[in-house]
Amino acid sequence: MSILNILRYPDPRLHTVAKPVTDFGAQLQTLIDDMAETMYDAPGVGLAASQVDQHIQMMVIDVTEEKNQLQVFINPEITWASEEKQVYDEGCLSVPGVYDGVERPSRIKVRALDRHGKAFELEAEGLLGVCIQHEMDHLLGKVFVEYLSPLKRNRIKTKMVKEIRGLEREASLRAQNRRF
């Protein structure tokens, strides 16, 4: 298994709409395992394939404290959402260090395929419900900061761009130092 590179906001690839999964072969199984390892290592509770530059409708989630109940959702579809809403403080592996309140339906029903292509349905609320909706947004090319005000979103974008430039500068200096 491998730790994958997680795209960071405002990378334009995060706005790519994912395509349905049709092949459940070895390549998909490896991607699922690599995404799970990446999510646990980050650490996070959910990761969409779009976040690792694989634009297919697949996401992995584990909201347990023990990190031992991995759930895989392939070609997920929300079939029902409650009218009742809740605000949940969300964060994202693609927007590290940023948390803010996002209002979403408090309960949902989702239909998806598991890692072997078997259909299942699930009703979710609380952290699991929020996580499913958050990861499904990624599959639609949407990042949670897009729910925030334009002012907050622009501040976050500026902060992320500065951090990315800093990381790139550090990598460049390390590369230069290796040459000597």
Torsion 6-71-80-128 (CA) sign: negative
The residue type of 130 is V
Is 138 annotated as ligand-binding? yes
Decide if 81 contacts 70 (C-beta within 8 A). Answer: no
Whole-angstrom distance, CA of residue 146 vs CA of residue 132: 17
SS3 content of the chain, % helix, strand, coil (to 5): 40, 30, 30
Is 134 annotated as ligand-binding? yes
The single residue of 83, 84, 135, 146 carrying the catalytic annotation is 135
- Residue 135 appears among annotated catalytic residues: yes
C-alpha triplet 79, 104, 162: angle, nearest 5°: 120
Nearest in space to 38 (alpha carbons), one of 50, 47, 27, 29: 47
Query: Which residues are catalytic, by number?
Result: 135
Feature table: binding site for Fe cation = 92, 134, 138
